[in-house]
Structure 1
Amino acid sequence: MSADEVRSAPLVRPWWRGARLWVLLVAVLIAGGAAAATLADEPGRPLDPASAHKNGGKALARLLEHYGAGVTATRSVDSALGHPGAAVLVTAPNDYSTAQLRRLAAASTRLVLVRPGTRAGNAVAAGLEPGVVDGSDIAQCSDRGAAAAGSVDFPGDTLGYTPGSSGAVACFGGGVLLAARLAVLGSSDMLRNDHLDDDGIAALDINVITDSRRLTQVTWLLPGADTAGPGPASVWDLFPSGAYRAFWWLAAVAALTALWRARRLGGVVPEPLPVVVRSAEVVEGHGRLYARAGARDRAAAALRSATTTRLAVRLGLPRGAPAEQVAVAAAAVVHGSPAQLAGLLAGAAPVDDAALVRLATELDHLESAVGGGLSEGTTS
């Protein structure tokens, strides 16, 4: 190893020790970003009739038009109600308030809800709630459109529904509810482009939405600016879906990192200092730090505290005696004013360096005077 390498080696280790925390933070951020991207929704607006992505609904929209049903996409409840005689397909009923859903149910010729939750279901009919589907792939109900779809391969997220007071018939083990003006689909994946070619899905979608092709207009309602939702918006609504899971994952990593860095493997082991540091050097070092920071108040407080402690010991007072008590006792020895000495031991902070030097000198003289007075009184 060359002399240059020997001289540079000590510099590499301190640099790495200082930078490894930042490297770790960058790695955690990269991993968190990758996790957020993985957990986020797929590209494109889900179930959008204009989206050709696999999570869109363009294939179903084109199929409905092929069978004579015009499709109109909208993001407004008012607009959805402006098409008399049309079936209103609500792709995200849980995003709408109870009042909005009841308004849609009252004014629509046929309302189709896609995978509604308990609140959304009860908004249109008491007792209409999600449950467990029995897995039947045959209609097993009296609706001719559902029976005409034949055997249906339902997606894995399909929910079963109880009709409640809606008067609807439960088909496919509750995976589909059908009434004269109401239909419920237990799965949102049934409308997606990538599921439309599954067994019976396309036929069932068309018959459910158009009431077995009796309706020739479909209003496709997507969530928009007027979605009132079940309550006030959450801060997580500003982030992609699944971002909160990435956040909690990062929080867990941070907690584990903190525990790892703060771990204690045993008791503290005392070791001798590698070098002997003289007390005068420590005092000078503290003085330079105070001077660099301009901390005259702290320097004065340190000087006064040390002087008060030493005077209390010399005057026979308890350790920790207040400055006023020490000043009264010292005044009796040096024949001075207790108020003046109290101001010296616990007065205002010096305004400049010269005042700090004068304070140090006066404190030193006071200690010398108290010490001299005691020795004279002792020998007499």
Structure 2
Amino acid sequence: MTATTTLGSAPATAPPPRADLATRVRRRAVWALVVAIGVAALVALALSTNAPDQALDPDDVGPSGGRALVEALRDHGVTVQVVRSADELVDADPGAGTTVVVGNPTYLGADSTDALREATSGADRLVLVAPTAEQLAGLDLPLTSSDLGAEVTVTAGCRSTVARPDDTAALVDTRFVPVSRGSGARATLCFALPNPRGDDKAPPEDFGFGAALATVPAGATHPEVVAVGVGSAFTNRFVGQESHAGLAIRALGHSPRLVWYQPGIGDLASVDGTGQSAWPEWLTPAAVILGTAVVVLAFVRGRRMGALVTEPLPVVVRAVETTESRGRIYRRARDRGRAAAVLRLGTTERLARRLALSPHAAEAVQAAAAAASGMPPTQVAALLAGPPPTTDTELHALANALADLEERVRTS
């Protein structure tokens, strides 16, 4: 008797080779585009992100470093000591005969500002390069500041311990405006900034729009403070232009000893957790955008996944052909264990139907088959649930033994 079966879980024909090739090419092109966009984004972020701790670094010989100024100070007989944390600043003990300069306040947090105020209370002078308004308030100075970043030539127009009336500077990073704060001492302003909306004929001593340099006299809790808004002028690239070198030497070479405090990223931390974040502000929205893009891409690429849909084949395949084809596949794969498991499962199901038992009750089927065939129960159990064969000869012998067992039960 010939049995027939219908295969309905797979398409009748494979897609044409050309269509399959086009699908693979499109898939690879999509992934290549995604990788290229990701690499381009990382490169753009890397190029647009400056290393703030390198600006006016005393050991940096690059254009934005301050090594040239350090060497000039040493040539003038000043001993320069570099510290890179608030703890090192405290250990340096900057007392009388010492000037302290904060070269880059980007990493100067609230707690580090307090440590700076306490550590420098007995120093000769404190020089702040481009301090923020929060740092000036933390030091209780009668000044506030804002970023400017202008390439404009300004003249001192004043006389102080740092500036001369005819000194000029060509780069202004920060502007200072006096406020009422602290002991009430007034700051001396130099390098008046031109008001972009004001009168071009305003006198040089008109500080209505603020100043690029301010000097606060010594008070009960702080030494003389010099707030410098022309920090870029002190870098290796520009220190030799205009009056930049003279300003830098007079500001930082006031004492025989200079402690150059370059805050590290650890100085951002705050004991109460309210300090500034070490991560740039754009990192969180960038992470959200990239995460959303990944989710959308996964959804788009996985939209075709779903439940399998069965459909009838346009042809009917004889059962014996299907069985022979599967056998050839098992033989080619040399998967004797899988072939033996299929043979045993088929024998167990047929014996269960013959003996009116459930095919899931394996032990009951084995016992009933042993009783019906007259074979020892251990031999029947070894045939139906023994170890898998390791050679083709053992697999052939197992198939014959299973067929013999079925024949014995059928004829009993």
TM-score (norm 1): 0.59
Q: Pick from 316, 338, 347: which aligns with 2:356?
A: 316
Matches of 1:95 and 1:284 in 2, distance apart? 79
Helix, strand or coil at the partner of 2:177: coil
Supply the AA of the counterpart residue of 1:81.
A
Equivalence for 1:30: 36
SS of equivalent to 2:178: coil
CA contact (8 A) 2:83 2:259 kept: no
| Structure 1: unaligned runs, 5 residues or longer | 1-9, 154-171, 232-238, 374-380
User: Of 250, 267, 287, which residue of structure 1 is paired with 2:327?
Assistant: 287
After superposition, the C-alpha distances for 1:127-161 in whole angstroms (9 at most, x for unaligned) are 99xx998x9963134555453354599xxxxxxxx
Structure 1 CA distance, aligned partners of 2:186 and 2:103? 23
Report how many aligned residue pairs link the two structures.
Answer: 314
* Letter of the structure 2 residue corresponding to residue 345 of structure 1: L
**Could you tell me which of 302, 310, 314 is aligned with 1:262?**
302
**Residues 273-282 or 15-24, more deviating:** 273-282
1:147 lines up with 2:184 in the alignment: no
Residues 71 and 217, structure 1, Cα contact 8 Å, conserved in 2: yes
Indicate the residue corresponding to 1:88 in structure 2.
Answer: 101
Q: 1:341 aligns to what?
A: 380
From the superposition, tell whether residues 325 and 271 of structure 1 become closer, same or farther in structure 2 (CA, over 3 Å).
closer
Residue type matched to 2:401 in 1?
E
**Code of the aligned partner of 1:48:** L
From 344, 363, 369, the counterpart of 2:402: 363
Check 1:99–1:15 CA distance in 2 against 1; reply closer, same or farther (3 A cut).
Answer: same
- Higher share in strand: 2
Q: Is structure 2 residue 303 aligned with structure 1 residue 303?
A: no
Give the distance between the partners of 2:215 and 2:387, measured in 1 at CA.
Answer: 84
Equivalent residue, structure 2, for 1:46: 54
Q: Is the 8 A contact 1:113 1:183 kept in 2?
A: no
Using the TM superposition, give the Cα deviation of residue 347 of structure 1 relative to its aligned residue in structure 2, in angstroms.
Answer: 0.7
Q: CA deviation at 1:335?
A: 1.2
Q: CA deviation at 1:245?
A: 7.2
Seq. identity, %: 26
- Change in CA separation of 1:307 and 1:190 when aligned onto 2, cut-off 3 Å: farther
CA contact under 8 A between 2:100 and 2:258: conserved in structure 1?
yes
Task: Using the TM superposition, give the Cα deviation of residue 69 of structure 1 relative to its aligned residue in structure 2, in angstroms.
Answer: 11
Secondary structure in 1 aligned to 2:56? coil
Distance 1:325 1:219 in 2: 91
Distance 2:251 2:24 in 1: 67
1:1-380 aligned at under 5 Å gives the runs: 11-40=17-46, 41-42=49-50, 46-49=54-57, 50=60, 56=64, 74=82, 76=84, 81=92, 85-89=98-102, 91=104, 94=107, 102=115, 105-106=118-119, 109=123, 112=128, 138-141=177-180, 142=184, 144-145=186-187, 147-151=189-193, 180-181=222-223, 191-192=231-232, 210=251, 218-222=258-262, 230=269, 249-263=289-303, 270-322=310-362, 324-373=363-412
Query: Contact 1:73 / 1:222 at 8 angstroms: preserved in 2?
Result: no
What amino acid maps onto 2:387 in structure 1?
A
How far the C-alpha of 1:341 sits from its partner, in A, is 0.4
Q: 1:227 to 1:37 in 2, by over 3 A?
A: same
CA distance, structure 2, for counterparts of residue 228 and residue 34 of structure 1: 32
Bigger RCO of structures 1 and 2 (CA < 8 A, at least 6 apart): 2
Write the deviation string for residues 249-284 of structure 1: whole angstroms up to 9, x where unpaired: 554433222211222599876543355444444434
1:276 & 1:121 partners in 2: Cα distance? 88
CA gap of 1:326–1:11, structure 2 versus 1, over 3 A, is: closer
TM-score (norm 2): 0.55
CA distance in 1, matches of 2:215, 2:338: 79
* Structure 1 residue identity aligned to 2:293: V
| 1:28/1:250 contact within 8 Å kept | no
Deviation at 1:309, TM superposition (A): 1.7
Structure 2 letter corresponding to 1:86: T
Q: Relative to 1, partners in 2 of residues 1:350 and 1:267: Cα closer, same or farther, differing over 3 Å?
A: closer
- One-letter code aligned to 2:100: A
Measured in 2, the distance between the counterparts of 1:256 and 1:194 equals 49
Deviations 1:321-357 (A, max 9, x none): 22x2111011111111112101110111112121111
SS state at 1:148 partner: strand
RMSD: 5.5
CA distance 1:61–1:304, change in 2 (3 Å): same
| Aligned counterparts of 2:188 and 2:346: Cα–Cα separation in 1 | 94
Q: Which amino acid letter does the alignment assign opposite residue 13 of structure 1?
A: A
**Residues 267, 285 of structure 1: alpha-carbon distance in 2 compared, 3 angstrom cutoff:** closer
- Partners of 1:273 and 1:60 lie apart in 2 by 83
1:81 Cα deviation from its structure 2 partner? 3.2
The aligned counterpart of 1:162 is none
Give the C-alpha shift of residue 181 in structure 1. Answer: 4.4
Report the structure, 1 or 2, having the larger helix content.
Answer: 1
